[in-house]
Amino acid sequence: MDTKNIGGFNMNGSPSSEIVIATDGDLECPFCHRGIETQPLSYVRFTVDNVQLFLKCKCGQSFVGYTNQDNNTNRYNITGLSKGKHKTKFFEKEIQEVSSTFVLTYGESEFAEQENLKQICGAGYRRAFEFLIKDYLIKFKKKIKILLKKNFLVIVLKKI
């Protein structure tokens, strides 16, 4: 296990003694979404149980690391990171041309998933794929366009 000693501050801004941070583990930068080497710069001790780290990434962003103290070793482990940017999947130009509504709906579903809205993202992904299938059929199977205007997608798919 790698560790790093860092200095920090108490809530009133006065200097606080060095603490030991466990720096192993697979953390992902909340901005660039790449794995990061933990690079704690400093900390603030709000209470005995609330010690927050100031961290940085090579991508040029900084963020907060939330910690728990290990009672056996007295080291602090990082248990979570503050929020950065949502991760979004890149779709090829061809897919965007077939269904921009799919790309938009998929992106909104990813947003919901990363906010831990599991019911919403599940329904959103399903809806996104419905748009993709429907728009694909309309673009490449011209005769189906008429069927789609009159029927639900599932009925049309059974007729194909």
Cβ at position 30, least distance to Zn ion in Å:
8
Between 59 and 104, name the residue whose CB sits nearer to Zn ion: 59
Cβ at position 56, least distance to Zn ion in Å:
9
Count of residues for the chain?
160
Closest CA relative to residue 21, chosen from 97, 62, 93, 74: 74
Given candidates 32, 64, 120, 147, which one binds Zn ion under the rule CB under 5 A? 32
The structure tokens listed for 35 are 């794995």
Cβ at position 111, least distance to Zn ion in Å:
19
Burial state string for 109-147 with b = 16 or more CB within 10 A and e = fewer than 16: bbbbbeeeeeeebeebbebbbbbbbbbebeeeeeebeeb
Given candidates 7, 46, 50, 59, which one binds Zn ion under the rule CB under 5 A? 59
Between 31 and 102, name the residue whose CB sits nearer to Zn ion: 31
Q: Is 83 in the site for Zn ion (CB under 5 A)?
A: no
Can you name the residues that pair with 65 across neighbouring β-strands? 53, 81
Cβ at position 137, least distance to Zn ion in Å:
40
Interatomic CA distance for residues 56 and 68, integer angstroms: 19
Q: Is 55 in the site for Zn ion (CB under 5 A)?
A: no
Cβ at position 90, least distance to Zn ion in Å:
17
Between 31 and 106, name the residue whose CB sits nearer to Zn ion: 31
Burial class (CB in 10 A: 0-12, 13-18, 19+), 57: buried
Q: Which of residues 11-30 bind Zn ion (CB under 5 A)?
A: 29
Binding residues for Zn ion (CB under 5 A): 29, 31-32, 57, 59
